[in-house]
Structure 1
Amino acid sequence: MNKPYHTLVFLVLVAMLYIFLSTIVPSGNLKIGGILFRIPKPLELLAISKTRQVFNSTDSLQSTTHKQTKIFSNALPINADSIPMEVEPLQSERVELSKTTPKRNFEINTLPIEMPTGRNPLGSFASALRNLDDQNVIVRVLHYGDSQIEGDRITSQLRAALQEKFGGTGLGLIPIWNTEYLPGGLKVGFSDHIKVNSTVNGKPAQKANCILGAVAEVAPLDSYGEIISIRVNSKQLFNSLSIISGNSDSTYAIMIVVDGTDTLERQVMPYGKVNVLSVKLPSRFERISIFAKNPATVKLYGLLAESGRGVSVSNIGLRGTSGNFFTRFDSHIASDIYRMLNVRLVIMQFGINVVPSNLSSYAYYQKLMEQQIKAVRRFAPQADILVVGVTDMANRFDGELKSNPSVEKVLQAQRYAALSNGVLFWDGYSAMGGEGSIIEWVNASPPLATKDYTHFTSYGAKRFGQKLATALLIAVDNFGMANIDQQPTPNGSFLNE
């Protein structure tokens, strides 16, 4: 009969054997008869325990359907946006235009934007900015990206820097495709009369019209019915609201009610495929209600919240995409929207959903990005294009945590696609610090990246956004000068590999 102390002695002997084996096998791997045994160190077990504890904590950007996803796996899911993220609450990064606002030093530790040989592809954007003093217009920037920019991350810093220097207030586009990840200080609600389809997960018949991220269908209403409500805190300042709508089979009416009292009503005639209805707003308000009276179905493409002049920078963060949707847009609708909005710069920031496929060659992705660049050029010949290279990502390989080697392959595919097609390129990977930088960002205090070794925290997004803004402002300041650095157009192509 076993005594209680027998069990205790047995456990002590097992522990002693484990410590002995982990000491005499420093590599942690023991091969016996062709079978490889993995013997983790005691400290590794403690580290894994802590990692799991952090991973299991719920954060604002984590979908409940992905809570069981393992991190540090050698085989990441193809869609990196499905990886849970630890993200601090986002804060509004708006900068007031005043004499007391401290100016940033935009000359320190700046990775320059790369430009193709023989031309300067920043002419339209730079000239539009320099003419702002003579024209009462808004120069618009559309920042497209995956979940790395979701919730106005990175974009907010770019907006703050451009508006500080060139004027303007407001957020640009108010996202209607994803009300979970809105910029700080905004709450948007929809009635049952409206159905929203995004560029990424919308119905196939609607995707062609989603140039601004989504299209919302408003069901017929015989009398005025509220379709959208927007709540704004005091930190968000804008004095103009624009509603971008599509064609309809009949005339329809839009009514905007501010704080339940001020009412603005407009009739929209069904003349064009795209209509922009703009209204002035009071200097201070808390709630905007949008009502519609439409005998036939009406499409809404977006809402713009901004001021009457200056720079407007819109965040179009679309989770789960590799940036392959521009070629699906309706060319006439896309052209009309880009022209009416005076879009002068389109930023494409993708790649974290491409890296996990771990291919030997990403020639297909180079070709895919070239097609997207050419599509935007067709839609918006007046707009310059900036491709932001993929940021660093890490996985465990043979037990060692290090940068995924596919990151540099995807980065090079993006660089070739951009420079060989005459558009701007900024190396996000090198801006972070290159190989292994994501590990350093995770281990920083405070952390600049999350434990999925892919996404930035709010601190990291702020730092990366400031780096991008710095590089862009320097390029704008240097436009047209003889000493501007020209980067050589790459010889050859990944397509020939």
Structure 2
Amino acid sequence: MPSENQGLRSLIVAFATAGAFAAAASVVAEVGKRRAEEGYIEPPPLLLVVAEAAPWRSGSPPPLWRVLAPKGTPRVVEDERTGLVVAAEVEPEPEAVPTQEAAVGPSNPGDAAPADPVATAAPSAAAPTSLPTRAPAVPTPLIDADHRGMIPFYQALSRGTGLARAAHYGDSTIAADGITGTVRRRLQARFGDGGPGWVDAGLDPRWSARPDLGTKRTGEWETKSILLGGGNGRYGYGGVVSTAPPDGSLTITGAKGAKISSGTLTHFELWYQVGPGHGAFWANLDGASVGGAAADADARADTRLVSDVGEGYSKIAFGASGGPVPFYGVVMETAGPGVVWDALGVVGVGSRSFNYFNKAHLASQVERRRPELIVIQLGGNELGIPVLQRGDGHEYAPYYRAAVDLLRSGAPNAGCLIVTPLDQGTREGGTPMTKPAVKRQVAVQQKVAAEAGCAFWNAFEAMGGEGAIVAWGKRKPPLAWTDLLHLSAAGQDLVGQGLADAIEAGYDDWVATGGPDAAPPTPAEPPRGEVLPIPEPAP
């Protein structure tokens, strides 16, 4: 007979999951429409989970809960003491803009990655001499002939001054900042803490998360992404635009009382949009105003507020007044030396999702950010498209290459690193196995990387190749969830460790072969805070 705890767990999970699915119906319908337009033969994500997922087991989140649960819905978490799944009520958001003295309680939208029990090496300031073994992962180096894909980033690391920035684009694999957060911590431990870098405005937990930050939102923000559209081609540097309502605000601190950065944050930027009918914006650092202005204009344009604070800051707040204001994101950086690793994941996107960008707008946004490395990790949501179901999948190459070229258009002199999707599984006759299209897709992406002059890291092989998603799900604690699609926090950390190992090893080899002897490029700093009008997208 099931225990009372087991019965309560099942009841709560069933109730919460059903509520989340019902609330997400319109979103799923729109995603399905988009997928049909892009040629998918698989059903939309929610139906995939219903059709393929095994019965829920302890330790796994309810299907798509974090992705599709509406704002204000209780979160479902695993109680560490009793093992019960409990519903934690979300604190209601106040209606007014907080005063400078208002208490701000950090709210972590994601689960922090726990210490990886299977890793045999921890982040260290010392340069690694070889790729460590982190079972069940497989040590996997970068494929990068003569380091040509990584040289701009390696040069920035070797200077010992300023910041080395990376822009890591992807889907739900990185949207919770698991893999990217681990890479950021590893590289910052060795080369210096450049700060959190870019953070999407609004931090809507349905689309992305930053577990290292605490946030507090007021008002009903409206978020648009390149998955569902509605942003008139303007989705900022990160693929998400969030419009603050009149008197809406966002406050960002360190998570759970911790500092935002181990270094001293001295640089702040607020990226936003001006246009007809917009209100005004304001911004504070540690309660002191650093600027604000009317965002109303005859035509839409992109701009940013820039502030340098010599003594540093530990809390930021910004918002709208008198009318709505669309925000793209904020930048929080130290003076360096250090690494900044921008996590730019949007749940549900694929290569063709980037076609919803106004290309001039995206290029301008990336150019302003000045990354030395563009990292592209896409494809997990594309395994159902027809071109990957036949032959060797070569027809997929033009779609993927177009996304690579578009993302690099704003920083053509930056390095480029292509990271493959992780292993994904399906159930054939009830038996879980790797999806047949995964290996075709990985092979095509490797060929595109070579042709485009990008470094390549095979995350599929780093997991162990075919069948890895099944094996990782059987680990205790599990490294992958029962949906055969996503990794647990510990699994994401393990992949992030492997990627960081590969980057550091590549850098060490570049140094050992005389790479730093080449003079590093010194591009001119672009004007800051300027308003750049962007042409309207074609209808």
Fold similarity call, TM over 0.5:
yes
CA positional deviation for 1:424: 1.4
| Separation (CA, whole Å) in 2 of partners of 1:281 and 1:377 | 33
Q: Secondary structure at the match of 1:380?
A: coil
**What residue in structure 1 maps to residue 131 of structure 2?**
107
**What residue in structure 2 maps to residue 149 of structure 1?**
174
1:27-426 to 2 correspondence within 5 Å?
57=13, 64-65=20-21, 77=43, 79=45, 83=49, 86=60, 90-91=111-112, 103=126, 105=128, 107-109=131-133, 110-116=139-145, 120-133=148-161, 137-176=162-201, 178-180=203-205, 181-192=208-219, 194-203=221-230, 205-217=231-243, 225-233=247-255, 234-238=257-261, 239=265, 240-248=267-275, 254-258=281-285, 261-267=287-293, 273-280=302-309, 285=314, 288-292=316-320, 298-309=325-336, 310-357=338-385, 359-361=389-391, 362-426=393-457
* Aligned AA (1:365): Y
| Separation (CA, whole Å) in 2 of partners of 1:325 and 1:426 | 22
Mean Cα displacement is larger for which, 172-181 or 428-437? Answer: 172-181
Q: Secondary structure at the match of 2:172?
A: coil
1:139–1:93 Cα change, 3 Å: farther
| Separation (CA, whole Å) in 1 of partners of 2:203 and 2:163 | 25
CA positional deviation for 1:423: 1.0
1:470 aligns with 2:508: no
**What residue in structure 2 maps to residue 431 of structure 1?**
462
1:420–1:65 Cα change, 3 Å: same
Mean Cα displacement is larger for which, 401-410 or 326-335? Answer: 326-335
| Separation (CA, whole Å) in 2 of partners of 1:59 and 1:153 | 28
1:55–1:186 Cα change, 3 Å: farther
CA positional deviation for 1:162: 1.3
Q: Secondary structure at the match of 2:423?
A: coil
Q: Is the 8 A contact 1:113 1:425 kept in 2?
A: yes
| Separation (CA, whole Å) in 1 of partners of 2:47 and 2:447 | 25
Q: Is the 8 A contact 1:177 1:198 kept in 2?
A: no
Q: Secondary structure at the match of 1:306?
A: strand
1:449–1:210 Cα change, 3 Å: same
1:298–1:81 Cα change, 3 Å: farther
1:276–1:382 Cα change, 3 Å: farther
| Separation (CA, whole Å) in 2 of partners of 1:80 and 1:366 | 27
| Separation (CA, whole Å) in 1 of partners of 2:445 and 2:456 | 8
When the two structures are aligned, how many residues end up with a matched partner?
A: 411
CA positional deviation for 1:442: 0.7
CA positional deviation for 1:78: 5.1
Q: Is the 8 A contact 2:248 2:321 kept in 1?
A: no
Q: Secondary structure at the match of 1:183?
A: coil
| Separation (CA, whole Å) in 2 of partners of 1:262 and 1:168 | 24
| Separation (CA, whole Å) in 1 of partners of 2:19 and 2:331 | 28
Question: Which protein is bigger by CA-based radius of gyration?
Answer: 1
**What residue in structure 2 maps to residue 442 of structure 1?**
473
What are the superposed Cα offsets for residues 342-373 of structure 1, whole Å, 9 maximum, x if unpaired?
A: 21111111222122456124333221111112
| Separation (CA, whole Å) in 1 of partners of 2:200 and 2:14 | 24
* Aligned AA (1:227): S
Q: Secondary structure at the match of 2:351?
A: coil
Q: Is the 8 A contact 2:234 2:241 kept in 1?
A: no
CA positional deviation for 1:194: 5.0
What are the superposed Cα offsets for residues 300-331 of structure 1, whole Å, 9 maximum, x if unpaired?
A: 22112332222111212211111323344334
Q: Is the 8 A contact 2:147 2:506 kept in 1?
A: no
Q: Is the 8 A contact 1:185 1:236 kept in 2?
A: no
Q: Secondary structure at the match of 2:237?
A: coil
Q: Is the 8 A contact 2:223 2:241 kept in 1?
A: yes
1:359–1:174 Cα change, 3 Å: same
Q: Is the 8 A contact 1:193 1:227 kept in 2?
A: no
* CA RMSD after TM alignment: 4.0
CA positional deviation for 1:156: 0.6
Q: Is the 8 A contact 2:223 2:243 kept in 1?
A: yes
Q: Is the 8 A contact 2:281 2:325 kept in 1?
A: no
| Separation (CA, whole Å) in 2 of partners of 1:123 and 1:237 | 29
Unaligned stretches of 5+ residues in structure 2:
1-5, 26-40, 62-77, 79-109, 116-122, 134-138, 516-539
Q: Is the 8 A contact 2:243 2:325 kept in 1?
A: yes
* Aligned AA (1:65): F
| Separation (CA, whole Å) in 2 of partners of 1:412 and 1:427 | 10
* Aligned AA (1:213): G
Superposition TM-score, scaled by structure 1 size: 0.71
1:198–1:471 Cα change, 3 Å: same
CA positional deviation for 1:434: 0.9
Q: Secondary structure at the match of 1:447?
A: coil
1:354–1:435 Cα change, 3 Å: same
Identity of paired residues, percent?
Answer: 21
* Aligned AA (1:321): V
1:475-494 to 2 correspondence within 5 Å?
475-479=506-510, 482=513
Q: Is the 8 A contact 1:179 1:187 kept in 2?
A: no
1:251–1:209 Cα change, 3 Å: closer
**What residue in structure 2 maps to residue 40 of structure 1?**
none
Q: Secondary structure at the match of 1:207?
A: coil
Unaligned stretches of 5+ residues in structure 1:
1-49, 70-74, 95-99, 485-497
